[in-house]
Amino acid sequence: MHTMLEQHYQRKLDDAFGFMFEPELMQEIIRIGQARTFREGDLMMDIGQAITHLPLLLEGAVKIMREDSQGDELLLYYLERGDTCAMSFSCCMSTKKSRVRATVEEDSEMVLVPLAYLDKWLGDFPTWKAYVFQSIDARMNEFLESIDSLAFLRMDERLAKYLRNKVMVTGSMEIRTTHQEIAIDLHTSRVVVSRLLKQLEKEGLVQLSRNLITVRTMDLAR
Amino acid sequence: MHTMLEQHYQRKLDDAFGFMFEPELMQEIIRIGQARTFREGDLMMDIGQAITHLPLLLEGAVKIMREDSQGDELLLYYLERGDTCAMSFSCCMSTKKSRVRATVEEDSEMVLVPLAYLDKWLGDFPTWKAYVFQSIDARMNEFLESIDSLAFLRMDERLAKYLRNKVMVTGSMEIRTTHQEIAIDLHTSRVVVSRLLKQLEKEGLVQLSRNLITVRTMDLAR
DNA sequence: CCGCCACTGTAACTTAGGTTACAAGCCGGA
DNA sequence: TCCGGCTTGTAACCTAAGTTACAGTGGCGG
């Protein structure tokens, strides 16, 4: 049995989705959804794990990664406020197993909706349908972006793009991370990242210190 | 004004989609769709071109490629009988511009449905909805496959995978193409392809001759 | 305050893959 | 039949990126 979302979450839900969903759908989400809070570093979903709910992100950031059989990883994209996992839609019709890993990048709040409702709402709420297809579109674009980067860019360009993206997602020019972290996200080695970062520093584009990269210009290469 | 699909296409439509769509939907497609035939090498759709119709493939194969601003290309996947362009679904809600190039790999027949009907049918026909989401799921999987290959495989493994895939799509162990063609699809250089193919030949996995690669075993490197 | 550990810098080396160059074979058309 | 263009093979070379090794440094816990 369900209890309605508490005020705190209702307000945030409204901030993130109120402008796009019709009131009846918002009511439905409040009635059905379960609120969840995650802390930075939490593993929200792993590869192969069964998908049972759709997350609607109210706050924070979630990092979506791919991993191969050898344990090699690659960052795909971030989910932010107003986003959801577009792959759940199609999973819900077929596999129901996650093909990606989702870890919490910044403390996050979200509302979880059981998969069963997704389909029902498609017919009931036009704004839900629009949101679903818009999410799928956004994710397909992210995939194409990833493919472009991997196929067409050199590592220094991928690094610059990564930093730019990180600034966008966090909204800060101060990137608090280690070279090792970046190496994992880009699927390269720490030494390579240090080398290329040092190059960017020599060009005056960033400033390096321990656990911190300060971006000096969004003009980062290109 | 529309004329109904002629018998020839109706039969093929039934072969490719009859088992999955309800009769009312098949009737609707026959009433609305326009049949088209393309020849090998034809450019069906280019990047930036407006999307107005959804293609339902009855026969043949269509190669989907990505291109960057410098004109560098990369093969994404093939569409075959029973397939459709999943990206059109989401395009239809937003951009309406193609982000990929579609060229005809083998002479193809298809039925084109104006985008306006996609949305309508979603509500009217459960099998259509299932097909749409299953197509999206399949394409997302292809994207993840591409990303995995680019991020985690060496060029020799990507080449082997490419050849395996080509055998699957064409249903023949004889691959009629040039090293240059392969180089474009994998976004590498002809010399590299020749080098690696020669290696595969030395290992007894393929046999090379002019404009022809004969695959000797589907065991092509794992 | 000391010692440890995580993080960073850098050198030296290796390797995959891209580039240039050229020779030779095949094939179709004049 | 001969020419020219497309295709393939291969060598020699270059560059980006991965690897190994090690030194220095900053911060935190004991």
> For residues A132, A134, A139 and A143, what is the CA-based torsion angle, rounded to 10 degrees?
130
Q: Is B199 on the interface with A (CB under 8 A)?
A: no
Q: A187 pLDDT exceeds 80? A: yes
pLDDT at residue A95, rounded to an integer: 66
For range B51-76, the mean pLDDT: 95
pLDDT at residue A222, rounded to an integer: 56
Q: Is A189 on the interface with B (CB under 8 A)?
A: no
Burial of residue A53 (CB within 10 Å: 0-12, 13-18, 19+) is: buried
How far off is chain B from A108, nearest CA to CA, in Å? 26
For range B2-30, the mean pLDDT: 91
Q: A137 and B74 in contact by Cβ < 8 A?
A: no
Query: Does the predicted TM-score (pTM) go above 0.75?
Result: yes
pLDDT at residue B201, rounded to an integer: 96
DSSP SS3 for A171: coil
For range B13-32, the mean pLDDT: 96
Q: Which strand D bases fall within 7 angstroms of a protein CB?
A: 6-12, 16-21, 26-27
pLDDT at residue A94, rounded to an integer: 67
Pairing mode, strands A73-79 and A53-67: antiparallel
Q: Is B96 on the interface with A (CB under 8 A)?
A: no
Q: A101 pLDDT exceeds 90? A: yes
Instruction: Count residue pairs from A and B with Cβ separation < 8 A.
Output: 101
Q: A93 pLDDT exceeds 80? A: no
Over residues B116-158, the pLDDT tens digits come to 999 999 999 999 999 999 999 999 999 999 999 999 999 999 9
Name A20's Cβ contacts closer than 8 Å, sequence gap at least 6.
A82, A127, A130, A131
Q: Which two tokens stand for residue B77?
A: 């996947």
Pairing mode, strands A101-114 and A34-38: antiparallel
pLDDT-derived band at A197, boundaries 50, 70, 90: very high
